[in-house]
């Protein structure tokens, strides 16, 4: 009997270990929606902010967010003309750093790719569209490829900013351009599995999501001009919608192509938004996946690059007034109706955890703890990031009761747990 109990215990431990290792940790949380599955977090911070556990200023310059797995934090930075992955332990010590690709070579070259962690491996893209797979424990490169050149991708003003999508045996890269729209590689070898047809488009700066609709697993992303859905089994384009043509009376030169935000998906509907007075839009996917139909548009929540979150039928985020200004907004998921538009510091990144919104002002580095109330933008607590340099463009991450905030070459860890 004791042997049987021991065997059961060992089996359960193995299953739990296997499940934890196989979890994918990636851009804006496990589901890429800015929602972090955390509990027992503080609902109010001390006057001077939550406790700073540690900080480091040993990163290379970058605006990427972080992935956290196997007791390590993974992010990217830029060294001269090259991008690197940096691994840090949970006390702020550098574990390893590995150069993996060419950085963007024009305006704002700092790395933006958040590493995707899957089963002990990291998947990254560089500013010029190089893709690599690394061993998460050592930083050794397993395989690498100059995909943008190979597939003739057309990179726009700020190069490539995609965080790779990993699903089952595939890693997905949006090599949008003359030859193709998207490619799937074998995540173990880097060899091509499929290549989609070209959409005669160019790249945006968004990272794709995977959805399941009508018994199909579908990759959804925005290109410079289209919202697009691709069958992950074979790369077939199932549907596309000319998002560019929704723009009305827009004179800003970046308005047609500056799509930076990952789409949101719920119950057969997809929401996309973009800055520079772009039009946000909600789409319904047809039951047979043969197309999508426009449900509504809004001119309030034109998010620049800070992302949006959907909570209890409402969408929260910040809009674009100009490159230095933006208000915080809430609109209704079903109708696009404005619930509020409130001035607080300026625009920035937003995430959600344990019943609260976390809003990160990109100009001065203020972080606000906000109740997700469609009737008001209520700041419960706030504090200011004082370490690091440059714009506050990195999206915060919450993991095991700790708020991680990156600012340029600095990374800070704040205790926001009740215990």
The predicted-structure confidence for 300-354, as pLDDT tens digits, reads as follows 999 999 999 999 999 999 999 999 999 999 999 999 999 999 999 999 999 999 9
Q: How far apart are CA 363 and CA 407, in angstroms?
A: 11
Given a cut of 90, is residue 72 above it in pLDDT? yes
Pairing of strands 35-36, 348-353: parallel
* CATH code of 109's domain: 2.40.128.630
Q: Is 65 helix (H, G, I), strand (E, B) or coil?
A: coil
Burial, 106: exposed, middle or buried (Cβ in 10 Å; 0-12, 13-18, 19+)?
Answer: exposed
Structure tokens at 417: 């747990």
Given a cut of 70, is residue 1 above it in pLDDT? no
> Which of 174, 72, 53 is closest to 120 using CA atoms?
72
Given a cut of 50, is residue 12 above it in pLDDT? no
DSSP state of 412: E
Asked whether residue 222 is domain-assigned, the answer is no
For residue 165, what are the CA distances in angstroms to 25, 31, 55, 371, 389? 10, 11, 29, 31, 29
Query: Alpha-carbon torsion 24, 212, 280, 240, what sign?
Result: positive
Interval 94-140: pLDDT, tens: 999 999 999 999 999 999 999 999 999 999 999 999 999 999 999 99
- pLDDT score of 6: 36
Asked whether residue 190 is domain-assigned, the answer is yes
**How many structural domains does the chain have?**
1
Q: How far apart are CA 11 and CA 3, in angstroms?
A: 12
Euclidean distance between the first and final Cα of the chain, in Å?
38
Compute the residue count for the chain: 419
Asked whether residue 59 is domain-assigned, the answer is no
Q: What is the mean pLDDT of residues 60-74?
A: 98
Average pLDDT, the chain: 93
User: Which residues span the domain enclosing 79?
Assistant: 64-203
Asked whether residue 392 is domain-assigned, the answer is no
Dihedral in degrees, nearest 10, Cα atoms 110, 116, 119, 122? -20
Asked whether residue 49 is domain-assigned, the answer is no
Structure tokens at 241: 């919608």
Phi, psi of 19 (to 5 degrees): -65, -40
Interval 360-401: pLDDT, tens: 999 999 999 999 999 999 999 999 999 999 999 999 999 999
With beta carbons less than 8 A apart as the criterion, state whether 124 and 74 touch.
no
Given a cut of 50, is residue 405 above it in pLDDT? yes
Asked whether residue 238 is domain-assigned, the answer is no
Interval 257-282: pLDDT, tens: 689 999 999 999 999 999 888 889 99
Asked whether residue 98 is domain-assigned, the answer is yes
> Which of 107, 110, 101, 94 is closest to 128 using CA atoms?
101
Asked whether residue 188 is domain-assigned, the answer is yes
Cβ neighbours around 211 below 10 Å, total = 18
């Amino acid at each position: 009997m004791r042997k049987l109990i021991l065997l059961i215990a060992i089996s359960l431990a193995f299953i739990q270990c296997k499940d934890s290792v196989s979890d994918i940790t990636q851009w804006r949380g496990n589901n890429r929606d800015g929602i972090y599955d955390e509990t027992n977090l503080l609902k109010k911070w001390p006057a001077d902010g939550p406790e700073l556990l540690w900080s480091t200023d040993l990163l290379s310059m970058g605006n990427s967010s972080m992935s956290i797995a196997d007791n390590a934090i993974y992010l990217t930075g830029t060294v001269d003309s090259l991008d690197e992955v940096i691994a840090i332990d949970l006390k702020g010590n550098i574990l390893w750093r590995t150069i993996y690709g060419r950085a963007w070579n024009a305006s704002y070259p700092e790395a933006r790719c958040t590493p995707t962690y899957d089963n002990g491996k990291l998947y990254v893209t560089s500013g010029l569209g190089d893709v690599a797979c690394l061993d998460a424990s050592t930083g050794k490169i397993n395989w690498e490829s100059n995909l943008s050149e190979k597939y003739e991708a057309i990179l726009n003003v700020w190069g490539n900013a995609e965080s790779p999508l990993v699903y089952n045996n595939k890693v997905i890269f949006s090599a949008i351009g003359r030859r193709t729209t998207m490619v799937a590689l074998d995540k173990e070898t880097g060899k091509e599995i499929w290549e989609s047809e070209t959409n005669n488009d160019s790249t945006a700066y968004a990272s794709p999501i995977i959805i399941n609709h009508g018994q199909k697993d579908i990759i959804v992303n925005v290109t410079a001009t289209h919202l697009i859905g691709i069958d992950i089994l074979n790369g077939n384009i199932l549907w596309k919608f000319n998002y560019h043509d929704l723009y009305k009376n827009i004179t800003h030169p970046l308005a047609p192509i500056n799509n930076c935000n990952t789409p949101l998906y719920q119950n057969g509907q997809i929401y996309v938004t973009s800055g520079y007075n772009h039009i946000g839009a909600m789409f319904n996917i047809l039951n047979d996946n043969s197309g999508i139909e426009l449900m509504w548009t809004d001119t309030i929540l034109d998010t620049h690059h800070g992302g949006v979150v959907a909570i209890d039928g409402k969408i929260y985020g910040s809009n674009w007034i100009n490159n230095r200004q933006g208000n915080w907004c809430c609109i209704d998921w079903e109708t696009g109706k404005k619930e509020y538009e409130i001035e607080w510091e300026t625009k920035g990144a937003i995430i959600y955890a344990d019943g609260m919104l976390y809003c990160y002002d990109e100009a001065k580095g203020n972080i606000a703890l906000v109740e997700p109330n469609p009737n008001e933008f209520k700041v419960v607590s706030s504090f200011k990031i004082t370490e690091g340099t440059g714009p506050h463009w990195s999206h915060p991450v919450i993991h095991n009761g700790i708020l991680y905030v990156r600012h340029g070459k600095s990374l800070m860890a704040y205790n926001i747990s009740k215990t």
